[in-house]
Amino acid sequence: MQDKSPTLQPIDRIQENLLARSERRVLTWLCARMPAWVSPDMLTFLGLFGALMIFAGYTLSTLDEDWLWLAMAGYVIQWFGDSTDGSLARYRRIERPRYGYFLDHSCDGVATTLIVTGIGLSPYVTLEVALVALAGYLLLSIQAFLSVRVLGELKLSALNAGPTELRLILMGFTSAMIVLGPGPGMFGRISGFDLFAGAIGTILIAIFAVQTWSIARRLSREEPSRNHEWSATRRD
């Protein structure tokens, strides 16, 4: 029977990314000055709108590379909406734990899919390579959500990098697109941009594999096998 408890147990948010402390100060400053009519839900959907801007910018760059500036602006808007929605709720003490958790992470999944698919539809990165990066990110997201259930922990970073650091990397990646242009492939259809995106995807998948092994070992120690007890019962 599934647990139908209406409450959500407290979650230990583990955030070890390099910019965590500085970003927290900025977010607190922003929340203190946010107009009363702005709600966390509005910020969540603003972040999703930013992701749509990024998708459009990458996709339209097939027509003109200047559209990449739309993607750059989208990253700023996406960061603002995605980073301040939960912060504002906590600052005002109006959290809705189950609703906020569900809506925020659902929108995060859509936003990530839009961003990475947009990169794959641009003339800079092939779609197949972009989908490897998307798979890596989504695998880590799934792992984070499973950890909430089995460990009571929500890990928001890996290798001292979190969503904010990843956005900065992608903005630098986009800047390189603007400066260098699509250019010829280094190995047939594979370009330097493909190699970078593929490397990021491979690293994310590797982190997923290592952390899965680590978490499984931890849970195995905390919940040792009872096969010997079952065998003893059958002999009796």
Q: What is the pLDDT of residues 131-147, one digit of tens each?
A: 999 999 999 989 988 88
What lies within 8 Å, CB to CB, of 76 at 6+ separation is 50
For residue 158, how many other CB atoms are within 10 A of its CB? Answer: 20
pLDDT at 113: 95
Domain spans, the chain: 16-228
Give the architecture-level CATH label for domain 16-228.
Up-down Bundle (1.20)
pLDDT digits (tens, 9 = 90+) for 74-120: 999 999 999 999 999 999 999 898 898 899 989 999 999 999 999 99
Query: CB of 53 within 8 A of CB of 74?
Result: yes
Token pair belonging to 171: 């903005």
**pTM summary value:** 0.85
pLDDT at 198: 92
pLDDT at 1: 34
- Say how far apart CA 159 and CA 213 lie, in whole Å: 16
Among the listed residues 198, 208, 207, the one whose alpha carbon sits nearest the alpha carbon of residue 119: 198
Buried b (16+ CB within 10 A) or exposed e, 29-58: eebeebeeeeebeebbebbbebbbbbbbbb
Among the listed residues 171, 163, 203, 141, the one whose alpha carbon sits nearest the alpha carbon of residue 20: 163
pLDDT digits (tens, 9 = 90+) for 22-72: 888 999 999 999 999 999 999 999 999 999 999 999 999 999 999 999 999
Query: CB of 165 within 8 A of CB of 19?
Result: yes
Length of the chain: 236
Mean predicted confidence (pLDDT) in 172-180: 93
Sign of the dihedral through C-alpha 163, 167, 173, 174: positive
